[in-house]
Amino acid sequence: MSVTTRRNRFAVAALAAVTAIGGLAACGKDDEPKEAGGKPSKLVVDTFGEFGYDEIVKQYEKDTGIKVELRKTAQLNEYRPKVVRALATGKGAADVTALEEGILNEFKTNPANWADLTPLIADHSKEYLPWKWELGKAADGRLIGLPTDVGSLGVCYRKDLFAAAGLPTERDQVAALWPDWNAFIETGKKYRAATNKGLIDSATTAASAVMVQQGGDLFYDKEDNVIADKSAAVKTAWDTAVAMSDAKISAKSATWSPEWSAGFKQGTFAATFCPSWMLGIVADNSGPENKGKWDLAPVPGGAGNWGGSWLAVPAQSKYPKEAAKLAEYLTNAKSQVEAFKLKGPLPTNLEALKNPEFTGYTNEYFSGAPTGKIFGESVEKIQPLHLGPKHQAIKENAFEPALRSYENGQSPKDKAWEQFLKDAKTQGAF
């Protein structure tokens, strides 16, 4: 083989190596459209589940000439790692990022990751549910999130199963069955006696409902110390759920488990606790064949809120001002009503809550229940909550497992409570 061809080969190999490395380096370069000082040509919005923004952003594009890219992630547990990755690496976050209640509280402990919206937009503090607006602020006072929706709370129940157990089926009569939680447990006992089945899916969903009704401090105090052992709301929720397990009124099907999903069709339970975002999940799990069998009644013991989100602007956004304007647009009264009509997230804007298009809304799947009216009325009575940084982790990895351990007979009452306190301490550390 001649020297020249070999030299060529060396050159080719070297070239290949250089291109490979260069190619890798090129990946790191950002290809965002840049218009120094001017307005952006495109803004990116990250949401999970369904926020119902598809039509609203088209109007925004027409009004402003700025293109909007909606990036949707179906499940919250897939969405969170994406946001974490973008924050941890300082790259890839959307200009407007939707933050769910649990995520927001956790991210608030590092407020520097988010732009302070106060100087960027007009003052809207009086236009929203006051507690919801306050939750969008970090401890250092910076406004991180603009309110989108709340979960509120209701009881979804199966009319056909209620009828079979000799219980009333009309939503007013059903509401009269359970003015408080004791009456609810009595109803569950009647249901058990008539059918030998559980009335509700699990004691843990009931515990979640009771806890958010109490309002005030849950797992954390105002200074964000873990107070699981002293919190009145937590104790009430625990005791109520324990009373429910003792009365055997639940089907012991943990939320999201296969038993739970199948239970909607199989009718292993006749009722569950429904924030408004749960209605779609109940409908999906029950299938079209059960349309018109479900209905919605008020929850015993008063209003409460379970879930809901905010829109935030990551500090890494290149156009914080325009992004804040977009977030402002997406959360205004008109957009919130539009979004509700499209996908069902409950408004938090006071004006939107009074809009007849919202209050007059009925849900076909749920036997034409006036969901706008039922949820709308309860929204105004919601008690402000203080959820600490790791609220979600304590609830899902300490409180609920301990409660289920008791309900499934794996550990006695005292031991389960101690397990919860111990885990709450580690899960709640931040």
Per rule CB under 8 A, is residue 20 in the interface with another protein?
Answer: yes
Per rule CB under 8 A, is residue 256 in the interface with another protein?
Answer: yes
Per rule CB under 8 A, is residue 9 in the interface with another protein?
Answer: yes
Per rule CB under 8 A, is residue 238 in the interface with another protein?
Answer: no
**What is the Cα–Cα distance from 247 to 114, expressed in whole angstroms?**
47
Per rule CB under 8 A, is residue 182 in the interface with another protein?
Answer: no
Per rule CB under 8 A, is residue 84 in the interface with another protein?
Answer: yes
Nearer to another protein, 144 or 382 (CB): 144
**What is the Cα–Cα distance from 222 to 225, expressed in whole angstroms?**
8
Per rule CB under 8 A, is residue 345 in the interface with another protein?
Answer: no
Binding region for another protein (CB under 8 A) out of 65-73, 107-115, 213-221, 293-301: 107-115
Of positions 59, 182, 225, 410, contacts another protein by CB under 8 A:
410
* Footprint of another protein on 61-80 (CB under 8 A): 77
Per rule CB under 8 A, is residue 28 in the interface with another protein?
Answer: no
Binding region for another protein (CB under 8 A) out of 2-10, 172-180, 270-278, 297-305: 2-10
Per rule CB under 8 A, is residue 284 in the interface with another protein?
Answer: no
Taking the complex as a whole, the smallest distance from the CB of residue 270 to another protein amounts, in Å, to 15
Nearer to another protein, 17 or 74 (CB): 17
| Best CA proximity match to 333, nearest among 344, 347, 346 | 347
**What is the Cα–Cα distance from 46 to 72, expressed in whole angstroms?**
6
Of positions 113, 286, 335, 355, contacts another protein by CB under 8 A:
113
Taking the complex as a whole, the smallest distance from the CB of residue 401 to another protein amounts, in Å, to 4
Per rule CB under 8 A, is residue 163 in the interface with another protein?
Answer: no
Binding flags for another protein, 385-404, as an x/- string (CB under 8 A): -----x--x--xx---xx-x
Q: Give backbone dihedrals phi and psi of 32, rounded to 5 degrees, phi first.
A: -65, 145
Q: What Å distances lie between residue 281 and 139, 153, 201, 263, 264, CA to CA?
A: 34, 14, 14, 13, 10
Of positions 202, 253, 348, 363, contacts another protein by CB under 8 A:
253
Taking the complex as a whole, the smallest distance from the CB of residue 412 to another protein amounts, in Å, to 13
Binding region for another protein (CB under 8 A) out of 55-63, 82-90, 142-150, 233-241: 82-90
Per rule CB under 8 A, is residue 413 in the interface with another protein?
Answer: no
Q: What Å distances lie between residue 350 and 55, 132, 223, 310, 347, CA to CA?
A: 22, 11, 29, 16, 8
Taking the complex as a whole, the smallest distance from the CB of residue 326 to another protein amounts, in Å, to 23
Per rule CB under 8 A, is residue 263 in the interface with another protein?
Answer: yes
Binding region for another protein (CB under 8 A) out of 161-169, 225-233, 358-366, 406-414: 406-414
Binding region for another protein (CB under 8 A) out of 59-67, 169-177, 212-220, 252-260: 252-260
Per rule CB under 8 A, is residue 257 in the interface with another protein?
Answer: yes
Taking the complex as a whole, the smallest distance from the CB of residue 234 to another protein amounts, in Å, to 18
Of positions 45, 57, 87, 327, contacts another protein by CB under 8 A:
87
- Write a three-state SS string for the chain: CCHHHHHHHHHHHHHHHHHHHHHHHHHHCCCCCCCCCCCCCEEEEEEECCCCCHHHHHHHHHHHCCEEEEEEECCHHHHHHHHHHHHHHCCCCCCEEEEEHHHHHHHCCCHHHECCCCCCCCCCCCCECHHHHHHCECCCCCECEEEEEECCCEEEEEHHHHHHCCCCCCHHHHHHHCCCHHHHHHHHHHHHHHHCCCCECCHHHHHHHHHHHHCEECCECCCCCECCCCCHHHHHHHHHHHHHHHCCCECCCCCCCHHHHHHHHHCCCCEEEECHHHHHHHHHHHCHHHCCCEEEECCCCCCCCCCEEEEECECCCCCHHHHHHHHHHHCCHHHHHHHHHHHCCEECEHHHHHCHHHHCCCECCCCCECHHHHHHHHHHCCCCEECCCCHHHHHHHHHHHHHHHHHCCCCCHHHHHHHHHHHHHHHHCC
Per rule CB under 8 A, is residue 197 in the interface with another protein?
Answer: no
Binding-site ranges for another protein (CB under 8 A): 1, 3, 6-7, 9-10, 13-14, 16-17, 20-21, 24, 77, 81, 84, 87-88, 106-107, 109-110, 113, 253-254, 256-259, 262-263, 266, 268, 390, 393, 396-397, 401-402, 404-405, 408, 410-411, 419, 427, 429-430
